[in-house]
Chains A and B, each alone.
Chain A
Amino acid sequence: MTRPDRAAIIGIGYSDISRNSGTGPGTLIARAARAAILDSGVAKEDIDGVVGVYGSDSPTVWPGYVVDSLGLPNVTWWDTAQPPSIVGLSSAAQAVLAGNCEYAVFYHGKYRWGSTSIASKGDPLRESPAHEMDPTFSNPLVSHAGSLNWAARVMRHHMDRHGSTREDFGKIAINNRTHALTNPRALFRTPIKMGDYLAAPMIDEPMSLLDMDAPVDGAMAVVVTSLERALDGPHTPVVIEAFGSGLPIGSEGNLWPEADGLAARRAVASLFGRTDYSPTDMDLAYPYDGFTILTMLWLEALFTEEGGGPELLRDAWSEDEQVLKLFGRMPMCTSGGNLSEGRATQGFGSVLEAVQQLRGTAGDRQIGGSLNTAVITNGMAATNRSTILSVS
């Protein structure tokens, strides 16, 4: 694979800039992005990366908002950056240089929130959203509906469409808990069996307490360098083979229960498309497990057609060991995942775990045999990023 050695700006755009636009902040960003793409001459079908400034008092809009607003159908890379704005430009340029996308549109906006000035305080339409909780300005449009736990309705949708059962989702929860028993990072280390799973209290039927991760406090970190430098270090270098993601139109889980599966399939295709591997070549699998339905969808994206997850799980289930062995050999979520370590990790525990397994330093939970590759999928429709790690 050849990668470019320089990045260039080929289009510029901006919205009207005014004291009082009479326009929502997202629309201004959409108009600026539209103008830049039109100026570039690039077809909207060819835009595959979206990067935006996110945070401070900028309109903290998810890249998915721009994908939806402009109907960009083929986006496989996204990123966000804190101000100042050129941080975002550098992220977009680096994504192009790394081969993660070919045409990235980068946006940055500012908005005169009600809290920004005394003069804007009197305008109720300028009230700022709770930024980190509403990155598409849509929460007020749905919060009256009762539950904003979109994943429960994705689960129902899968059960209705593909005939998955609670027992299928239970196999995921039990597998992860069984692996967590020997993981000192895991918060939940009491064994569970199917009866425990089925008896767990409903949080948002059909989703139970054991289908979801738990809020915790915690942090994790890694150090990354070039492979050349890594060879001088004390450990077996674990190589990042590739990253991949997918950002489909309609990534709002509250409206589009199809989106998580679609995003997962696009992410897996883009991830493996950047390597010579296929998913079945992997020695270890870490499908994201913030909710068991997301694990189901990532497994289908990796290994089966849509709706093939339940059969995959039934074939992989070992009643004796209370774990899943995909295709009879591939262990899954060997540290117990988010379901056992908690939400602070947001899937990053799987990265630490894969590094330990590939180094051969996972202690009591070290998987036997020769381990060379691990796939870690991470996130859901609007926010996902997956990777393949390897040792040679």
Chain B
Amino acid sequence: MAHTRRNYDTQPYWEGCDQRELRIARCADCHTWIHFPRGVCPNCWSDDVRHEAVAGDGQVVTFSRPRVPDGAPPMVTALVALDAADGVRVLGRLEGAEPDAIRVGMPVSLDWHEEDGQLVPQFVPSGGAPA
């Protein structure tokens, strides 16, 4: 919790995470999705920005495998384009995938993990992890 700096613009996003719900900012006037969350619509300049819960299915746009300490499990950081929110991409860990089987474009689904007491989004391969 201490490391999750929230501010007035990002608080609705974090409140969603607290309830395992991915809430993305959206313009109430022109319906443009806005991520990262911000208080002005970049398309029509409306101030009426609200957060909507979205399904977390999507596709891998790109990914990398950062070096981890000896003995630690491999880590994959993936950028995921959400199917349900046009133009929205979420950066998160990709868990449960065979590292060599990860491909750009592969379908993934939303999952959650806890870090420093804060629930944060991560992704898993759609349809379950390969054997």
- Chain A residues at the B interface, C-beta cutoff of 8 Å: 21-27, 30-31, 34, 68-71, 124-127, 129, 136-147, 149, 152-157, 160, 201-207, 249, 252, 254-257
Contacts and interface: CB of A to CB of B under 8 A. Distances in A.
Contacts of B91: 141-142, 145, 254-255
Nearest to B123: A145
B65 interface: yes
Contacts of B104: 156-157, 160
Interface of B: 3-11, 13, 35-36, 38-40, 42-43, 45, 47, 61-67, 75-79, 89, 91-93, 104, 113, 115, 118, 120, 122
Contacts of A21: 8
A125 B6 contact: yes
Nearest to B76: A146
A255 B40 contact: no
A154 B66 contact: no
B93 A145 contact: yes
B38 A204 contact: no
A157 B103 CA distance: 11
A248 to B, nearest CB: 12
Contacts of B43: 71
Given A27-B39, A142-B91, A205 B64 contact: yes
B91 to A, nearest CB: 4
B38 A153 contact: no
B131 to A, nearest CB: 23
A257 B61 contact: yes
30 contacts: A21-B8, A23-B8, A23-B9, A23-B39, A24-B8, A24-B39, A26-B38, A27-B39, A30-B40, A69-B42, A140-B4, A140-B5, A141-B13, A141-B36, A143-B3, A144-B115, A145-B93, A146-B77, A146-B93, A147-B75, A153-B63, A153-B79, A155-B64, A157-B61, A157-B104, A204-B67, A204-B77, A254-B91, A255-B79, A257-B61
B38 A154 contact: no
Contacts of B9: 23-24, 26-27, 137
A75 to B, nearest CB: 13
A147 B64 contact: yes
